[in-house]
Amino acid sequence: MNTALKIVLPVAVIGLGAVGAKTLVDNRPVPVSVERVIPVPRVRTMLPELTDYQVHVPSQGSVVPRLESELVCEVSGRVTAVSPSLRNGGFFQAGEELLRLDPTDYELALTLAELEVARASRLLQEEQADASVAKREWESLGKGEASALTLRIPQLAEAQANLKAAQANLKKAKRDLERTRISAPFEGRVRRKAVGLGQFVSKGMSIATIYGTQVAEVRLPLQDKELAVLSLPLGSSSEDQLQRPSVVLSALFAGAQHEWQATVVRTEGEIDPTSRMVMAVAEIQDPYGQAGGGAQVPLAIGMFVNAKVRGVLLKDVYVLPRTALRDGNQVYVVDDQNRLQFIDTQVVRSEADSIVLRAQLPPNARVVITPLEIVTEGMRVADHLQDPPSDSAATSEAQEETPR
């Protein structure tokens, strides 16, 4: 019996296992298939309009005076008076006396020069009288041709030359006396004062550095490619005087943004060998606002400014965000069936955040301004003019899942 049990028990266990396995297989859950879904990309679009676009070329530079000079002494002497305007940053008018030197020595020199002129004039008159007497005597007593020396011609020429020399010395003495009063040749401002009251100055010594305040300039570097959209005075003919683009200068001053109007008056004759830039020079009239009573915010010398140079007017163009441009020269448009079309364009100009282009767009075309990763021409999209782009724009597939 034990032998029979040993044989039957394993068979029974195997049979029960087979029945259990069959039961599990028969009762296993049926997998649920999930339908594959490809969502339609959502895009933002805009309705482009033909317009005229005014080109402004950006640049920057520092304000410099158009006229700057070094005041130097033309005579020597001790400084006896200094104008209140002669100080660093001081304003002065044209012809205003800025400095005075001790004139005593030059007044004495003028007196002596006047004496020499009077003496030379007297000697000339005496010599003219002697020459006249010598001529009459020779005509009455002499025979043949009289020599120049007999007629006192060389003596008369010497007396005339002495008078001219004395008059020249007198003129120099007067000029030296005038030069003891040093004045400004133009209206301007003092950059640097170099002398003070009581100081002895020598001829040729610098007194101050001054510059004019009626006109200032800004050197504006421009890329060579920008010349195509600017009417700059590149040559030297009189016609170039008509080509003077306007410039808007701007800078932060006293905590606020201010603007000034300028005009490009010339270009420099050389291209910068390092940057390969063309230098345009813009001119600003009355930078300190003195003509208007000081109401204008001053455009101080040395101020760093941003500039927008007015260029040509581009007619019948589209102005779109930079995100609308694809593959260098294409735009995507959405047709009436909400399908994408690829349109080739001509990019006329690229700005920091926009592009200007010419293109043959279909009527009522909507230009896509949403970045798209995977696109094909003719694919369907969902157009949302105001909604931000959705993450579902990328194509995805659902995976089959098996519930437990």
Identify the CATH number of the domain in which residue 289 sits.
Answer: 2.40.30
CB atoms within 10 A of CB 14: 10
Query: What pLDDT score does 356 carry?
Result: 92
Are 86 and 193 contacting, i.e. CB atoms less than 8 angstroms apart? yes
Domain boundary among the residues 313, 337, 361 is at: 313
Query: Do 244 and 324 belong together in one domain?
Result: no
Question: Higher model confidence: residue 149 or residue 334?
Answer: 334
Q: What is the mean pLDDT of residues 103-117?
A: 94
208 Cβ contact partners less than 8 Å away, ≥ 6 residues apart: 70, 71, 86, 98, 190, 191, 192, 193, 194, 195
Query: Is residue 55 predicted with pLDDT exceeding 80?
Result: yes
Residue 67 lies in a domain: no
Domain boundary among the residues 295, 313, 331 is at: 313
Least confident of 30-34, 58-62, 139-143: 30-34
Residue 77, helix vs strand vs coil: strand
Query: Do 189 and 139 belong together in one domain?
Result: no
Residue 394 per-residue DSSP state = S
Query: Do 329 and 371 belong together in one domain?
Result: yes
Are 165 and 158 contacting, i.e. CB atoms less than 8 angstroms apart? no
Query: Do 266 and 294 belong together in one domain?
Result: yes
Query: Do 242 and 282 belong together in one domain?
Result: yes
Q: Is pTM, for the whole model, over 0.85?
A: no
Query: Is residue 280 predicted with pLDDT exceeding 50?
Result: yes
Q: Which two tokens stand for residue 253?
A: 């001053």
Query: Is residue 397 predicted with pLDDT exceeding 50?
Result: no
Strands (E), 66-167: 68-72, 77-82, 91-92, 97-101
Query: What pLDDT score does 14 carry?
Result: 74
7 Cβ contact partners less than 8 Å away, ≥ 6 residues apart: none
Query: Do 293 and 231 belong together in one domain?
Result: yes
Residue 205 and residue 307: Cα distance in Å, rounded? 39
Residue 277 lies in a domain: yes
Residue 321 and residue 355: Cα distance in Å, rounded? 6
Instruction: List residues bridging with 43 in a β-sheet.
Output: 383
Residue 345 and residue 370: Cα distance in Å, rounded? 18
Query: Do 184 and 156 belong together in one domain?
Result: no
Query: Do 147 and 221 belong together in one domain?
Result: no
Query: What pLDDT score does 329 carry?
Result: 87
Residue 43 and residue 39: Cα distance in Å, rounded? 12
Query: Do 246 and 259 belong together in one domain?
Result: yes
- What domain range includes position 232? 214-313
Question: Higher model confidence: residue 14 or residue 75?
Answer: 75
Domain boundary among the residues 313, 334, 363 is at: 313
Helix axis angle for 104-141 and 153-178, nearest 10°, is 170
Strand order in the sheet with 330-334: 45-46, 366-368, 330-334, 340-344
Residue 355 and residue 48: Cα distance in Å, rounded? 12
Query: Is residue 390 predicted with pLDDT exceeding 50?
Result: no
Are 90 and 190 contacting, i.e. CB atoms less than 8 angstroms apart? yes
Query: Do 159 and 255 belong together in one domain?
Result: no
Query: Do 47 and 122 belong together in one domain?
Result: no
Overall number of domains in the chain = 4
Residue 60 lies in a domain: no
| Confidence class for position 33, pLDDT limits 50, 70, 90 | low
Query: Is residue 172 predicted with pLDDT exceeding 50?
Result: yes
Nearest to 324 by CA among 279, 285, 284, 359: 359
327 Cβ contact partners less than 8 Å away, ≥ 6 residues apart: none
Residue entry with tokens 């490009």: 264
Residue 322 lies in a domain: yes
Question: Higher model confidence: residue 36 or residue 122?
Answer: 122
